Structure 1
């Protein structure tokens, strides 16, 4: 048996129950991982709330949680990872019905999606990175193809994705305009923003900005609303409004401006790039608070407030009985 946060039904945090449940059995090609830490992402409470019923059906997946950092318990003999190795990764959301998430003492994950954990990070720090790091990396590197000397705007620069995106853009040689509240101005500047706009004091759409990449982490704009702030061949990225963003380029009068809806995907190679940036000191995880597993409902409530600075991490208990 193992301890886990179970989703008993769709709803709010009252639908979560921390209890004992059977351990998962590893399949060929997978790793069985002792999770030391996980984290909360908005997709977790959106699944719990029922926003993705079309994907999961009448009942939510039993165990949520994408990010994990932990130690390999079991692996194929031919795997590049073996028991005792420290790893980090991101579970596949679409497979949560059949594969347990990371809000548990043990999870299993395809070996090809897992990477060696950055040596300089604690389990809690490492668990805060995978989803937000992959989102920022795949957005700025794969979609926007960000180049040194370009200018990036990050709308929502003080959240989990935003703070990693700012640091990543700076590591890639770009200048960064961050958008957040005045309360979070200092953390945005510390992350590397060259300029910070307080959206509560200034109308963002009235600003005379010319940026190469408009990264909308909040998801409250569109290519149509911000196109005048983009360079002629600029790129608008949205990680929230996926369908409308996917088609907006078709109707944009400036044909060289593009919009991309970012569907983040687990990737060991992208995690390896993030690990290298962390080891070089270019990326630093930002954690607002670490919650024990028994208090995961409080972490969900805090995440739902949409006022977090950085990430909310879940630390697993040390009470697991050895296999």
Structure 2
């Protein structure tokens, strides 16, 4: 099976994750160094390896900028891998957690639990987000399947748009009924890495790690399934079991990302498509490269969100939407 990579580049692609990680570390250091005050990279390295609480720059790095950079890495990797899996299993180039309703489903569940039931426990956020994403995914799939012609790429996108609009309206209503909760969640609902709670990240980390583990473990089977269910069955795969595992991975990754940073759209659309341009269709490459590229992509986007209109800061989710929307339009014109 071809991966779409030229033979003379294949060894480079397989060895590439090491180079990708090196570039990711550079982006990570740059993300920490820039801000209202630029801190030299040697000082960043010194703060990370020999922290001194009496040095103001060290406190800024470790207490403020380091957590934000870690959030960007985790959220970018999670959403990118989730999008890659969705596109492979559904064979839908437009599939991603935001367009198919998973982000708004997870966000709606968090808003209801926090606003209506006043349960803001960090331990609950990933579980609540996962349940909301699952319900939204089932609703989108059910609507698309019931449409004439079944769950085609077009009907899935239309069903995702309908569910997103409906749940988005309910989120607005819930926030208008509770202005205090709306004020607390207003920035989070735009997708933001600023001021996030480190406790939520620790509770979301097991979900994210399990989702990535399942994604890596099923990558070879996803490659076969992306070629068609008949091909996968012919290779002796249990397609139902594989789809269930992938659904778990997508839900876990989406829920952990939403719990940490709110809904951040188009990351799962943009990154996997860019990755496949370089590594082809082999998901043993697409999955790890999507994680690395997604982490780096969100680091760079967050730098742009902080610096574009400095000292005013834009929510990172707004920048991902501004970058992702034109790519979505191009894909619609090219594929549908």
Instruction: Tell me the TM-score normalized by structure 2.
Output: 0.26
More helix by share: 2
Instruction: Tell me the TM-score normalized by structure 1.
Output: 0.27
Q: Which has the higher contact order (CA 8 A, sep 6+)?
A: 2
